[in-house]
């Protein structure tokens, strides 16, 4: 679970300049972390059920995982879009405060566009390039926020796990311990 949470924060640390090797490492490690987290969780949840209810519990566990996944995708998309808009507004405010340096940046982009043969359209082209860059940065910042939220939620859900009482699977119906009050052969009484 720690690896799974750590990967959320590693995703949050990425930006457009992150080397592809690092991105591939995270993308390869995430399915392993998910498998290392999901299988023991599934086993622990099903271990507490009586033998006759394991199939039903497994089906319900899968159903809840599917519902939670759909809800998580919907909430993630909502949060991502909201944060993108928030960061776009923040960038626009900062651009208004930095009028002189923004003018210098636009002037540099305009001269570069003119060098590439944009001619009279170099002013609008440079403004479009700057706007595109700001939108991309807002998307990166929104993804960073989303991964930080995901990591913090994972930490918040992990903390109560330490206070859960450990339970053993109930004895199957008709076992020695149920009919005689003595532990079944090969088991210890607790």
Q: What's the pLDDT tens digit per position in 106-152? A: 777 778 777 777 777 777 777 788 888 889 999 999 999 999 998 89
User: pLDDT band for position 185 (50/70/90)?
Assistant: low
> Per the structure block, which two tokens stand in for 104?
């210098």
What are the C-alpha distances in Å from 109 to residues 112, 126, 173?
5, 5, 78
Helix axis angle for 54-97 and 99-115, nearest 10°, is 90
> Per the structure block, which two tokens stand in for 125?
């082209």
To the nearest 10°, report the CA torsion of 175, 180, 185, 186.
100
pLDDT of residue 67: 95
Question: Is the per-residue pLDDT at 64 higher than 60?
Answer: yes
User: pLDDT band for position 63 (50/70/90)?
Assistant: very high
Whether 40 contacts 179, CB under 8 Å? no
pLDDT of residue 131: 83
pLDDT of residue 70: 95
Q: Is the pTM of this model over 0.75?
A: no
pLDDT of residue 189: 47
**pLDDT, tens digit, 9 for 90 and up, residues 152-171:** 998 888 777 777 666 665 55
Considering all CA atoms of the chain, what is the largest pairwise distance in Å, rounded to the nearest integer?
Answer: 96
**pLDDT, tens digit, 9 for 90 and up, residues 17-40:** 889 999 899 889 888 888 888 788
Separation between Cα atoms, residue 73 and residue 69, nearest integer Å: 6
């Amino acid at each position: 679970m720690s690896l799974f949470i750590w990967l959320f924060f590693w995703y949050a640390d990425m930006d457009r300049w992150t080397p592809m090797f690092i991105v591939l490492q995270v993308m390869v490690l995430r399915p392993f972390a998910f498998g290392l987290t999901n299988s023991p969780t599934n086993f622990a949840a099903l271990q507490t059920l009586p033998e006759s209810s394991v199939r039903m519990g497994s089906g319900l566990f899968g159903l809840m995982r599917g519902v939670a996944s759909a809800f998580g995708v919907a909430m993630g998309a909502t949060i991502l879009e909201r944060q993108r808009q928030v960061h776009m507004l923040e960038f626009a405010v900062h651009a208004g405060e930095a009028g002189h340096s923004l003018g210098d940046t636009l002037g540099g982009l305009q001269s570069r566009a003119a060098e590439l043969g944009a001619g009279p359209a170099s002013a609008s082209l440079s403004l479009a390039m700057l706007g595109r860059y700001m939108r991309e940065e807002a998307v990166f910042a929104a993804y960073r926020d989303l991964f930080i939220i995901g990591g913090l939620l994972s930490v918040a859900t992990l903390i109560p796990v330490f206070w859960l009482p450990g339970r053993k699977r109930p004895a199957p119906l008709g076992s020695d311990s149920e009919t005689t009050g003595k532990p079944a052969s090969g088991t210890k009484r607790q």
